[in-house]
Chains A and B, each alone.
Chain A
Amino acid sequence: MATLSHQIIAVTANNLRSVPQRWGISAVIVIGIAVTVAVLVSVLAMAAGFGKTLANTGRADRALVLRGGSQSELASTLSRDNALTIMDARGVRKGADGKSIASAEMVAIVSLKQKNTGTKANVTLRGVGPKAFELRPEIKITAGRMFRPAVRELIVGKSALAQFEGLELGGHLTFHQGEWNVVGIFETGGDSHESELMADAETVLSAYRRNLFQNVIVLLESPQSFDAFKDALTTNPTLSVDVKRETEYYAEQSKQLSKLLFFVAYIVGGIMAVGAVFGALNTMYSAVSSRSLEIATLRAIGFGALPVVVSVFVEAMLLALIGGVLGALAAWMFFNGNAVNTLGANFTQVVFQLTVTPALAVSGIVLACIIGLVGGLFPAIRAARLPIAAALRAA
């Protein structure tokens, strides 16, 4: 047993000493794996960051009402009558003035130029009711002032401000044949509304010549009032609506997109991993063939096949590990904490942070090791089966 470990250590150490001499071909495995891991970790970081942002959006004591069967705000429409019925329903909290704390909202999409790419992307313009800010106390104006009703003024979320051109305080935006003034900048503490523009619902409706809202959001008397509120709406024959807690709605929205991002991560990562496996095979086959005389000599002296196999695997794993660490490091250095925007709930931009967590880095490195293992397997078998006499003759 001791001699077997002596053999393994000697053959492996000797092999690793010779790696620098074939650095060029070794770089193939390292770079292939580094790129694969960097891409996989980045996309997974995106999915994780996205989930985190949307999971932060919403409160349990707020409910969102959409037309029955609507998957998202944008697919929903509610008439003015329906909106009034919903806002007056049981379970909705009343303000000091005795009116429901609720907001019938119209959601429109505005196409704006992005600062970093110069290309256009969609932003949500949310027309909100007069009680919208009582409804969402987390919205804080950090610069400028609140928009006024009946004039084309809007306020801009800070993530949208960072991402798009022309949203600075005092700026003018032209869309739907009208000019809008940016009068304020707001924060919400990190939820997806920070990627939106907000204005007075009636003003947005008239600008778009529409008369239908997309949704109604209400503040409940308490989180427990949700069931009463939901019952009141679903048993009302004049309404056909879906009622969801706000938290639930955003969780669902983020789930779909997170799923998609994870799917993309695994498909893209999988394809790249297959490519990296071929790169690894290529590297290790050529390493074995350049070592064939050394291997044959050791085998002639009496070394077993196992130490040779181990030496091939250790080389493959070591190179893979270097690639994996480099890839994870690259993802972390270039992307961790980067603000990225992607299609959010309404096919508009949601800005969120990529978070390269240690767990993600570890899973990237695990992938690297798997690639190294698979890429080392067949070359190791070839090395073990090397015909000694023929290999000695070839020298």
Chain B
Amino acid sequence: MAAIVSLRNVVKRYTRGKHSVEVLHGLNLDIETGDFVALMGPSGSGKTTLLNLIGGLDTASGGEVSVAGERIDSLSGGQLAKWRARHVGFVFQFYNLLPQLSAERNVELPLLLTSLSAAQRKKNVQTALAIVGLSDRAKHKPTELSGGQAQRVAIARALVSDPTLLVCDEPTGDLDRATADEILGLLQSLNREQG
């Protein structure tokens, strides 16, 4: 199977004033379509840095980043935003739900970037919430959800637009052990069924 993510000699340097920290020193990496890959390493080892490059949130200092055969290291900020809308779903450690919006409104956000009609959006949102098992929490605000539920809503939001890849940065980092296992299990079954 073809590599969905392919990194060639990727260098990432953070420069602040005169100081420059090189975090990734010529990294090569291939991830096959349908893979479920976990990056492990101590805090500060560069996991977030790498995921940001793969997800198009940040640009490499050198090397090539290709996703689904497309070079994204040369895209402009505006092009990257459009690219992310089509290809990437993000799940963050602290869920990053918009506190003013209900669960279903949060899940609908990525669909506002598509040309789907309101009715289609509603249908897709319901499907995504059903997949994560939260159909009965559609009208709840993030503050009315437990951590695990909030992360399920975030996962629904990440996959509602059927992205090419799902980027999860410490998706269980804020959850207790049992809930964390539950979320990981959900992600794994999603990978089996949808990936």
Which chain A positions have C-beta within 8 A of B83? 302
From B82, B85, B100, B157, A17 is in contact (CB under 8 Å) with B100
Query: Within the complex, what minimum Cβ distance (angstroms) separates A23 from chain B?
Result: 14
Q: Are A301 and B113 in contact (CB under 8 A)?
A: yes
Q: Which residue of A lies closest to B84 (CB)?
A: A302
Query: Within the complex, what minimum Cβ distance (angstroms) separates B174 from chain A?
Result: 11
Q: How far is the CA of A298 from the CA of B84 in the complex (A)?
A: 11
Which chain B positions have C-beta within 8 A of A3? 112-115
Q: Are B84 and A301 in contact (CB under 8 A)?
A: yes
Central interface residue in A7, A299, A389, by most chain B CB within 10 Å = A389
Interface residues of B in 99-113 (CB under 8 A from A): 99-101, 109-110, 112-113
Q: Are A392 and B112 in contact (CB under 8 A)?
A: no
Central interface residue in B57, B78, B82, B115, by most chain A CB within 10 Å = B57
Which chain B positions have C-beta within 8 A of A294? 98
Q: A359 in the interface, Cβ–Cβ < 8 Å?
A: no
From A14, A301, A304, B90 is in contact (CB under 8 Å) with A301
Q: Which residue of A lies closest to B113 (CB)?
A: A302
Q: A305 in the interface, Cβ–Cβ < 8 Å?
A: yes
Known: A7-B112, A10-B109, A392-B57. A303 touches B81 (CB 8 A): yes
Q: Are A301 and B85 in contact (CB under 8 A)?
A: yes
Q: How far is the CA of A148 from the CA of B55 in the complex (A)?
A: 98
Query: Within the complex, what minimum Cβ distance (angstroms) separates B63 from chain A?
Result: 17
The total number of A-B Cβ pairs within 8 Å is 69
Q: B77 in the interface, Cβ–Cβ < 8 Å?
A: yes
From B78, B90, B98, B99, A300 is in contact (CB under 8 Å) with B90
Query: Within the complex, what minimum Cβ distance (angstroms) separates B10 from chain A?
Result: 15
Q: A209 in the interface, Cβ–Cβ < 8 Å?
A: no
Chain A: interface residue count, which band?
20 to 34
Query: Within the complex, what minimum Cβ distance (angstroms) separates A4 from chain B?
Result: 9
Interface residues of A in 263-322 (CB under 8 A from B): 293-294, 297-305
Q: How far is the CA of A6 from the CA of B85 in the complex (A)?
A: 14
Q: How far is the CA of A304 from the CA of B80 in the complex (A)?
A: 9
Q: Are A297 and B81 in contact (CB under 8 A)?
A: no
Which chain B positions have C-beta within 8 A of A300? 55, 57, 84, 90, 96
Which chain B positions have C-beta within 8 A of A96? none
Query: Within the complex, what minimum Cβ distance (angstroms) separates A9 from chain B?
Result: 8
From B52, B58, B81, A302 is in contact (CB under 8 Å) with B81
Q: A210 in the interface, Cβ–Cβ < 8 Å?
A: no
Q: A236 in the interface, Cβ–Cβ < 8 Å?
A: no
Q: Are A302 and B57 in contact (CB under 8 A)?
A: no
Q: Are A298 and B57 in contact (CB under 8 A)?
A: no
Which chain B positions have C-beta within 8 A of A18? 99-100
Q: Are A302 and B98 in contact (CB under 8 A)?
A: no
Q: Which residue of A lies closest to B167 (CB)?
A: A300
Known: A389-B58, A395-B94. A298 touches B109 (CB 8 A): yes
Interface residues of B in 109-163 (CB under 8 A from A): 109-110, 112-115, 157
Q: Are A305 and B77 in contact (CB under 8 A)?
A: yes
- List the 3 closest pairs (A to B, CB-CB), nearest first: A302-B85, A17-B100, A389-B58
Q: Besides A3-B112, A298-B109, 5 other CB < 8 A contacts? A: A14-B101, A297-B92, A301-B113, A305-B78, A393-B48
